[in-house]
Amino acid sequence: MLIFPVDRNKLVASGKSRDTKLNHATVQACNFSLMDKPMIERITFALAALFLASLAQAQVNPIPRTGGLSGSVSLGAAYTNVSSSFYQHDDSARINNLGSPQSDSNVSLVPRFDLRYTLAESRTQFVLGNQIHDVLRFDFTQLLAVRQEIGDLGIVSAGLVFTGIVPSEVWSDPYRTGADRNSSDRDSRGIRLGWERVLGSGFNADFTARKIDIEREESGRSSTLSASQIGLLDRNGNSLQLRVSYDWEFAPHHFLAPGLILGREELDGMAMRHDVTGFKLDYGFNSGSDIFSASLYLAQQGYEEGHPLFGNRKADSSDYALGVNYLRQGLFGTPWLGAYISASYGKSNSDIDFFDAEFTRVGTGLRFKF
């Protein structure tokens, strides 16, 4: 599955080189604004990685020397075309069979925020922002964390991840055919631990553990499966993810960040339980007022047991996603105002057609930095 390092929310680095240095967080924040719907939940959250770096994590930004409140807020619009059997949208409530997924399109508002409060003397920073776990399944959370700089050892962080004020929704029984499927709230919450610039190097690592709870988990109950078979489809459980990346500024204003993503979806249903192995590569350019980023994500997803509705075949998949973003900061001579345009595409090819997923997205909007 694709894992995007879209987990760092900041578009411009903080600190002395605030307007010229491009870092991992810069690229990730650009990519982050590509997605907005609360999720495709194509079967669980198998990707859990980052859209090329889980760019929404609010890390790898140096802690500024000046204390106080900082951050950014953006608002835009995006056109999205999604092909997924698990995509929760009114137009896709009814399916006629368990074959390949249907396609749905929509235009939506895309609000994003990254708020930080810094205690300059103690080198401490508090962060509240968005985080992307699985772009193909539209699995997004909020992050509330504290970051602490420890001299040349780097920056360590600890925080809470949670669904947010508005819960995400999934189909209570995504396999129901011939009638409208019902929605159910999906809640996820847990902890996230991170270490940026490990021992003064360019390496970064973070670990996220979440508990996933679906209010009305009814997968397979509309079918003729036995009770034990229905139990194999339970999407509740735990989600674990480890990400390791390396930030490399290979030329002035040019940045590369390759990374590895390892995930484990320890879900109650054995047919839903799976491992994820992913690779991401981010590229970024920052001239101060112009910021460009491009991201690539590749992943494999392997399931433990076969799916009883599909001849006991496993839903193993190969996933990829890519995105490009351009931000122009300083519109009309105002340093706090910027505009962005972004485009992304992703696809998941599963051994079960019903689990295939594909999305195309184009968006634009304004960004306010303070």
* Mean pLDDT over each residue of the chain, to the nearest integer: 82
- Average pLDDT value for residue range 249-260: 94
For the chain, how many structural domains are there in total?
A: 1
Enter the tokens of residue 90: 């009114």
| Res 259: pLDDT | 96
| Res 167: pLDDT | 62
- What CATH number did the domain enclosing 178 receive? 2.40.160
| Res 21: pLDDT | 42
Residue 342 has pLDDT above 70, yes or no: yes
- Average pLDDT value for residue range 104-124: 90
Q: How would residue 350 be classed by pLDDT, with cut points 50, 70 and 90?
A: very high
pLDDT tens-digit series, residues 361-370 = 999 999 999 8
| Of residues 206 and 92, more confidently modeled | 206
**Is the residue at 318 inside a domain?**
yes
Residue 34 has pLDDT above 60, yes or no: no
- Average pLDDT value for residue range 54-61: 41
Percent of the residues in the chain that have a pLDDT greater than 70, as a whole number: 80
Per-residue CA distances from 298 to 112, 181, 266, 282, 312 (Å):
25, 31, 21, 12, 26
| Of residues 220 and 134, more confidently modeled | 220
| Res 140: pLDDT | 64
Residue 120 has pLDDT above 90, yes or no: yes
| Of residues 27 and 141, more confidently modeled | 141
Lowest mean pLDDT among 254-263, 287-296, 312-321: 287-296
**Is the residue at 185 inside a domain?**
yes
pLDDT tens-digit series, residues 321-338 = 999 999 999 999 899 999
- CA dist 167 and 193 (Å) reads 23
**Is the residue at 6 inside a domain?**
no
H/E/C letters for each residue in 133-182?
EECCCCEEEEEEEEEEECHHHCEEEEEEEECCCCCEEEECCCCCCCCCCC
**Is the residue at 56 inside a domain?**
yes
**Is the residue at 4 inside a domain?**
no
| Res 61: pLDDT | 75
Residue 22 has pLDDT above 80, yes or no: no
H/E/C letters for each residue in 1-68?
CCCECCECCCCCCCCCCCCCCCCHHHHHHHHHCCCCCCCCCCCCCCCCCCECCEEECCCCCCCCCCCE
Residue 224 has pLDDT above 70, yes or no: yes
pLDDT tens-digit series, residues 128-178 = 987 655 555 555 678 899 999 999 999 999 999 988 655 688 999 999 999
Q: How would residue 56 be classed by pLDDT, with cut points 50, 70 and 90?
A: very low
| Res 168: pLDDT | 80
Residue 58 has pLDDT above 70, yes or no: no
**Is the residue at 8 inside a domain?**
no
**Is the residue at 15 inside a domain?**
no
Provide the domain limits for residue 93.
Answer: 24-369
**Is the residue at 5 inside a domain?**
no
| Res 17: pLDDT | 38
